[in-house]
Amino acid sequence: MSMIDDPMDRIAAALERMAPAPLAAPDFDAASAFVWHTDPDRLEPVTKVSRVDLELLVGVDRSRDTLLQNTRQFAAGLPANNALLWGARGMGKSSLVKAIHADVHATHDALRIVELQREDLPSVGRLLNLLRGAPQRFIMFCDDLSFGHDDAHYKSLKAVLDGGIEGRPDNVVLYATSNRRHLMPRDMIENERGSAINPAEAVEEKVSLSDRFGLWLGFHACDQDQYLAMIRGYCDAHGVEIDDDTLRAEAIEWQATRGSRSGRVAWQYFVDLAGRKGVSLSST
């Protein structure tokens, strides 16, 4: 008997050594923001988040007010919705999420934000297990969310939106940004509808995913006055001096060379301007 048991014991011991060690409980007091990584699973604290002040985000008043109220409710332990911020590129979707977290965290110290990359969605169940039951409250943030043909990652997202048997933890809410309202390209929707035996069912599962977000917040391209107001706000906030006529002429020329006008383009012009003026932005 011992001759048989000894090899089995050795195999069992070897398998135990190969198995990953249980993930230690994160120190959620180490920071107010974390990034989720896999292979191995870990939550890395972010001591300095790249973001702008909430008052500097121009032209998104309705979305700002709606998401801010939702976040305050969530931070206070009240019912709150998952939110999908969709629309034009460079119009401050991800900036708004990070700015609102900072604003609400100032009065609700237990509020945390955890960034989850789209490619790590299959691991979301393991992440939820770490967050579930913690005394803090977590905004799970997924930036630039979209799904392509034969992309099954969207099924993992349902664990957050629908919760499965366990249900989504009460202390977790999902905020996602996307350039697409339905999280997949329009031409893909039309192609699948046109080639499927049952066109309605072919895309319903993916398209209906966006319906599971309680809040849809649309972001649209800014006009020229809003574009200039963004830049003036940055200048005033960082002490960059420039007269209105010069700012207008330079900013309009900058947008013309880029072929677009957005909050991102406004910030890029401002970074160039601050550099020429010798003003450091390292404190932002």
Write down the domain spans for the chain.
33-219, 224-277
Check pLDDT > 70 for residue 235: yes
Please give the average per-residue pLDDT across 107-115, as a whole number: 97
> Which tokens in the block code for residue 260?
């677009």
In three-state form (DSSP H/G/I as H, E/B as E, the rest C), the secondary structure along 32-93 is CEEEEECCCCEEEECCCCCCCCHHHCCCCHHHHHHHHHHHHHHHCCCCCCCEEEEECCCCCH
> How is domain 33-219 classified at the CATH fold level?
Rossmann fold (3.40.50)
Backbone angles phi, psi at 33, to 5 degrees: -135, 145
pLDDT score recorded for residue 19: 47
Scan for tokens 């039951």, then name that residue: 133
Please provide the average confidence, as pLDDT, over all residues in the chain: 84
| Pairwise pLDDT comparison (206 vs 62), residue with the higher score | 62
User: What angle is formed at CA 89 by the lines to CA 84 and CA 90, rounded to 5 degrees?
Assistant: 105
What is the reported pTM? 0.81
Q: How far is it, in rounded angstroms, from Cα 30 to Cα 41?
A: 17
- Whether the pLDDT of residue 201 is over 90: the answer is no
- Highest mean predicted confidence (pLDDT) among 120-129, 214-223, 267-276: 267-276
Give Cβ neighbours of residue 56 (< 8 Å, ≥ 6 apart).
230, 233, 234, 237
SS3 7: helix
The per-residue pLDDT for 16 is: 54
184 with 146: CB under 8 angstroms?
yes
Backbone angles phi, psi at 161, to 5 degrees: -80, -40
Please list the helix, strand and coil fractions of the chain in percent, rounded to the nearest 5, in that order: 50, 15, 40
Parallel, antiparallel, or unpaired for β 42-45 and 33-37? antiparallel
Task: Select the more confidently predicted residue: 253 or 183.
Answer: 253
Q: For the residues 15-28, what does the mean pLDDT come to?
A: 63
Cα 236 to chain centroid, rounded: 28
Query: Can you state the angle between helices 61-75 and 93-105, rounded to 10 degrees?
Result: 40
pLDDT of 205 higher than 90:
no
Q: List the helix and strand counts (H, then E) for the chain.
A: 10, 7
Average pLDDT over residues 87-94: 90
Whether pLDDT at 176 is above 60: yes
Phi and psi at residue 70, in whole multiples of 5°? Answer: -60, -40
Residue 118: the pLDDT is 86
CB of 128 within 8 A of CB of 23? no
CB 72 within 8 Å of CB 116: no
